[in-house]
Homo-oligomer: A and B are copies of this chain.
Amino acid sequence: MQYNIIAIGSELTLGLSVNTNAPFIAKRLGQEGYSCNCQVSIPDNIELISKAISKSLEEADGVVITGGLGPTVDDLTREAICDALACELEYQPWLAEIIKERYGPRTTPLPEITYRQAYLPSGAKPIIPTIGSAPGIILEKEGKFVISLPGVPREMEEMIETEVVPWLNTRYLINEAYKVRVLRTTARTEASLEDSVKDIMDSLKNVAVGIIAFPGEIQLQLLARGQSEAEAEAAIKNAEARFIERLGPIIFGFDDETLEEVVGTLLKQHDLTLSLAESCTGGLTSKKITDIPGSSDYFIGGIISYSNDAKINLLNVSQQTLARQGAVSAATALAMAVGVREKLGSDIGLAITGIAGPGGGTSDKPVGLIYVALSHQTTSYSNKYVFFGSRDIIRLKSANAALDMLRYYILDNIRAIGGAVF
């Protein structure tokens, strides 16, 4: 089964919002073995939407649409489906009741337009919303399907999980399987990574390998096809093992596993607690660490010492160090790491100071110059980096560099005592 995704909304074609729905759907349905041919974004224009639906039904077995199901006047997906499939909208009083109930406790009186959501194309099976108020739609015609979901990510995701996946799995018996595996690395460039694994890539059968760069991360993306789930799984396991053997700890994680998750797991495994002192990253590293549920088990807290006063008062960085070496220096980073570890009583202190730009750079200390320091018991050391890019990207790379420095520290030093990790 091959399908297209259509995302509806002028905010998308105007570039005012980023389409995160299409990747979610492609990934989730991909896990079930359904293959996304193509993703299209279309403005709120009934003719263009209807044309895109017709075209997708020609090219593929079906289409999954998001957006344009809300109550407001620019929500035109219901009408466009009727246009493309030559059917009529029908008012469903029972759906109106459900919608009323859904809004009930919050908004009284209910705006009249809300009831636009109680219309369904004839022959459609509604998906009753458990979050939000917009019903989804499943429709079959001449062996093809149209699935239409709200544009609000949570509402869409809920319907994919509870209704769309089961419906597709009942309708289609998959006779080809595919498996995706992402190896996440801290390699520096795409070309250097490709160079070091080119022979493996060339020798693999039934496994396609892509190399993709993100800020502070380069991924090896493996896609294996097979006649059965087991065959695809075996192919991907074999490929994965060869890359792991070659690349070793450069691979920090797999699939959705983030650097902060891996670091969290390492800290937990070795009963270590962490505190953070951040200057230029301004809380980003702490935010990443606490993105992980349960991070309170190992994360004591952080100090964002954005000003020199905060570095002196909260982290005991000496006035002399700041005056002689400057706020962006190995000495200051080290003092911050020791300071935060002592102040918060954690096992490890990690500190970041640097110049994120766009202003504040000099020829001696350019924008992108970052020092990261780590302090643990009697050990403390610092690394120096120079990153390129916008303020956002420099901050992101700095946070990742700090997390990766911590990861290597635990792998190299603690693992030797505590047992195998990788």
Chain A residues near B (Cβ < 8 Å) = 9-20, 22-28, 30, 36-44, 48, 52, 70-74, 103, 106-107, 111, 113-114, 131, 152, 154, 180, 182, 189-192, 194-195, 198, 201, 208-214, 219, 221, 223, 276, 278, 281-287, 289-291, 293-296, 299-307, 309-310, 313-314, 343-345, 357-359, 388-393
Contact = CB atoms under 8 A, between A and B. Distances in A.
Given A191-B111, A301-B303, A304-B302, A15 B24 contact: yes
Contact of A10 (B70, B131, B208, B291): B208
Contacts of A19: 18-19, 22-23, 39
B306 A304 contact: no
A111 B40 contact: no
24 contacts: A10-B223, A11-B210, A11-B219, A13-B26, A13-B39, A14-B26, A14-B27, A15-B22, A16-B219, A17-B23, A17-B212, A19-B19, A19-B22, A38-B41, A107-B189, A131-B388, A282-B302, A283-B289, A284-B290, A301-B310, A301-B314, A302-B302, A310-B344, A314-B314
A335 to B, nearest CB: 16
Chain A contact residues, majority secondary structure: mixed
Given A44-B210, A291-B391, A302-B303, 20 more contacts: A11-B210, A11-B221, A14-B180, A15-B28, A15-B36, A16-B221, A18-B19, A18-B23, A22-B41, A38-B48, A39-B40, A72-B190, A74-B209, A111-B191, A290-B304, A296-B307, A300-B310, A301-B303, A301-B304, A303-B314
